[in-house]
């Protein structure tokens, strides 16, 4: 089921004035909006049914009917989950409250990310990873951690992945890519200037490009051949990526597992070969 509110929230910045009015009303009154007809919604938002339908289609719904069902479903199954448990962490919270809030925020992020994934794009990404000669990953900060996790996973099945710790080396690797190679740029905002420069260099060398960014119209996602999106609602004090990092790691797990599944027999054979057995030692 597509999650309506996250799609509208992420689309807001690129929406027209009329669309922003519709989105603002729905996000402020999701339960009420989920029960309205298209004519009632148009009246409340001073818009037209045609504007609402266009907005629905721009956010990957077939029309208002599918959008309305998605919004209604979302409110029914997640009202208490989202409204009661997803408040921001405060300085007076107990350890238990912090545990509950952070855990449920991460769960929500994973659910929303799943709703944003296009299965055909996942399949295309896996095919591109399999066919490329050299796979190069780009990311800084928390996204670099995600890139290194991907490197470890794919190396286990004999798909060599290149990751550098510092940005200048990443840029050098981008400069040495060819049309036979594939780059994956990981950037939650999709606007990190260093990653934009790397993506530009990958493009200049005619190599393939996969982007992993938040849902919306980011600079890096516009440049990519294959666009993958994550959703995250970071806390107000966001001192470092939290739920966004979880969503990115989950997406890497999906790509890796789909890759193994697509080439199951060969992958299992390689995994068995590369398994490092640890001897257990007992005290005399």
What DSSP character marks residue 214? Answer: E
Q: Is the pLDDT of residue 70 over 50?
A: yes
Rounded CA separation 16/12 (Å): 8
| Under 8 Å between Cβ of 242 and 234 | yes
Is the pLDDT higher at 84 or at 20? Answer: 20
Strands 208-214 and 226-230: parallel
From the options 3.30.930.10, 3.40.605.10, 3.40.47.10, 1.10.10.10, give the CATH code of 4-81. Answer: 1.10.10.10
248-269 per-position pLDDT tens digit: 999 999 999 999 888 777 777 7
Rounded CA separation 245/13 (Å): 23
pLDDT-derived band of residue 232, with 50, 70 and 90 as boundaries?
A: low
Distances (CA, A) of 207 to 27, 134, 165, 222: 40, 10, 21, 15
Q: What is the pLDDT of residue 277?
A: 66
HSE-CB at 69 with a 13 A cutoff on CA atoms is: 7
Q: What is the pLDDT of residue 1?
A: 53
Write out the two tokens for 107: 């769960």
DSSP, residue by residue, 78-139: HHHHHHHH-PPP-TT--HHHHHHHHHHHHHHHHHHHHHH--HHHHHHHHHHHHH-S-EEEE-
The whole-number average pLDDT for the span 150-171 is 92
Q: What is the pLDDT of residue 80?
A: 52
Q: What is the pLDDT of residue 284?
A: 46
CATH of domain 119-273: 3.40.50.10490
| Under 8 Å between Cβ of 154 and 148 | no
Distance of CA 145 to the CA centre of its chain: 15
Rounded CA separation 191/220 (Å): 7
Q: What is the pLDDT of residue 40?
A: 96
Question: Which of 91, 88, 98, 183 is closest to 133 using CA atoms?
Answer: 183
Q: What is the pLDDT of residue 233?
A: 60
| Under 8 Å between Cβ of 206 and 179 | yes
| Under 8 Å between Cβ of 229 and 116 | yes
Q: What is the pLDDT of residue 278?
A: 62
The whole-number average pLDDT for the span 194-210 is 97
Is 46 strand, coil or helix? coil
Question: Which of 5, 24, 188 is closest to 86 using CA atoms?
Answer: 5
Is 273 strand, coil or helix? helix
Rounded CA separation 236/191 (Å): 20
Start and end residues for every CATH 1.10.10.10 domain found in the chain: 4-81
For the entire predicted model, the pTM comes to 0.69
Out of 89-93, 134-138, 139-143, least confident range: 89-93
Rounded CA separation 16/115 (Å): 24
Residue 216, burial from CB neighbour count under 10 angstroms (0-12, 13-18, 19+):
middle
Question: Which range has the top average pLDDT, 60-64, 96-100, 169-173?
Answer: 169-173
Q: Is the dihedral of CA 246, 252, 258, 260 positive or negative?
A: negative
8-66 per-position pLDDT tens digit: 988 998 999 999 999 999 999 988 999 999 999 999 999 999 999 999 999 989 999 99
Q: What is the pLDDT of residue 85?
A: 47
| Under 8 Å between Cβ of 249 and 146 | yes
Rounded CA separation 256/266 (Å): 14
Is 182 strand, coil or helix? strand
Out of 34-43, 186-195, 270-279, least confident range: 270-279
Start and end residues for every CATH 3.40.50.10490 domain found in the chain: 119-273
The whole-number average pLDDT for the span 191-197 is 96
Q: What is the pLDDT of residue 239?
A: 43
């Amino acid at each position: 089921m597509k999650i309506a509110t996250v799609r509208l929230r992420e689309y807001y910045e690129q929406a027209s004035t009329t669309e922003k009015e519709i989105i603002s009303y729905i996000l402020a009154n999701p339960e009420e909006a989920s029960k309205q007809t298209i004519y009632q919604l148009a009246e409340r938002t001073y818009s037209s049914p045609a504007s609402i339908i266009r907005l629905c289609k721009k956010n990957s719904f077939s029309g208002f009917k599918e959008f309305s069902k998605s919004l209604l479903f979302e409110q029914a199954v997640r009202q208490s989950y989202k409204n009661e448990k997803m408040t921001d962490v405060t300085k007076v919270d107990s350890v238990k409250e912090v545990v509950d809030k952070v855990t449920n925020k991460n769960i929500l992020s994973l659910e929303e990310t799943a709703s944003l994934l296009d299965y055909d794009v996942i399949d295309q990404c896996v095919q591109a990873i399999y066919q490329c000669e050299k796979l190069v990953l780009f990311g800084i900060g928390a996204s670099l951690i995600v890139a290194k996790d991907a490197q470890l996973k794919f190396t286990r099945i004999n798909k060599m992945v290149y990751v550098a710790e510092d940005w200048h080396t990443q840029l050098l690797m981008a400069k040495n890519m060819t049309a036979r190679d594939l780059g994956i740029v990981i950037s939650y905002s999709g606007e990190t200037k260093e990653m934009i420069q790397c993506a530009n260099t990958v493009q200049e060398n005619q190599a393939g490009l996969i982007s992993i960014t938040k849902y919306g119209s980011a600079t890096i996602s516009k440049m990519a051949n294959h666009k993958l999106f994550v959703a995250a609602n970071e806390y107000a004090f966001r001192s470092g990526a939290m739920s966004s990092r979880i969503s990115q790691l989950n997406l890497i797990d999906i790509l890796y597992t789909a890759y193994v599944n697509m080439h199951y027999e060969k992958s299992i054979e390689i995994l068995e070969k590369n398994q490092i057995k640890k001897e257990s030692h007992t005290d005399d």
